[in-house]
Amino acid sequence: MNTVWKILTAIGQFVMGLFEKAASVFQAPHPLRGPMMHGRTRDVAITYRMGAGYAGDVNRTHPASIEPVLIGASDYPDAYGQAVLVDAANAVRKLVSGDSAITDIYGVTIRPFPVQQSSGSNFGAATLGAAVPPTAGVLDVLKDGYIMVNLPFGGTTKKGDPCYVRIAATSGNHIQGAFEAAADGGNSIKVLNAKFNGIPDASNNVEIIVTPARNAA
């Protein structure tokens, strides 16, 4: 009998020890929240802004007026998120040096999602966001809505700022047909039916608002 009692006592002491160790993990019960566990947390600070997107991304599906169009035989669009006009054959082309009198664009080229062109490296896929439109066939254009564009030359913008498009030949990071943050004399035009809708991200991608063209040609 004494042996059984000793065994039961030992088991009781062992169990009580477990409860005491468990109790050390918890604080006294809060009257409203109940018991709380002691624990360490590791705070993580994100020091970089998240990317805004890729050029040609339609940011908001409503409102968005999207139209499939033929690609022009000459001066065809060579980037997504690029301003385009309609040529004499009812196809779209990018803006070039003869377009100094243009005030409204027809729309902005849309990047299909997802799109990664094949290449000889990176397992046959180009870097995300590096793909370019085809040189013939059909391309989607945003005529009214919100879309991401790239500013190759960089610069700062804010909500409501006017958009400019380079019409002169490419020179360094001034890319013909690309959007720009500021006027550059006769090298660019001011687009009256598009405005910036914020600040660019670290890759110079920024959202613009496009409204229907009044006199795009």
pLDDT of residue 199: 94
- 167-204, pLDDT tens digit by residue? 999 999 999 999 999 999 999 999 999 999 999 999 99
> For the whole prediction, is pTM greater than 0.95?
no
Confidence of residue 23 (pLDDT cuts 50, 70, 90): low
The architecture of the domain spanning 65-210 is Beta Barrel (2.40)
Domain locations along the chain: 1-39, 65-210
- 84-141, pLDDT tens digit by residue? 999 999 999 999 999 999 999 999 999 987 655 555 555 555 566 678 899 999 999 9
pLDDT of residue 13: 79
Confidence of residue 216 (pLDDT cuts 50, 70, 90): very low
Nearest residue to 112 via CA among 131, 93, 87: 131
Confidence of residue 30 (pLDDT cuts 50, 70, 90): low
pLDDT of residue 217: 45
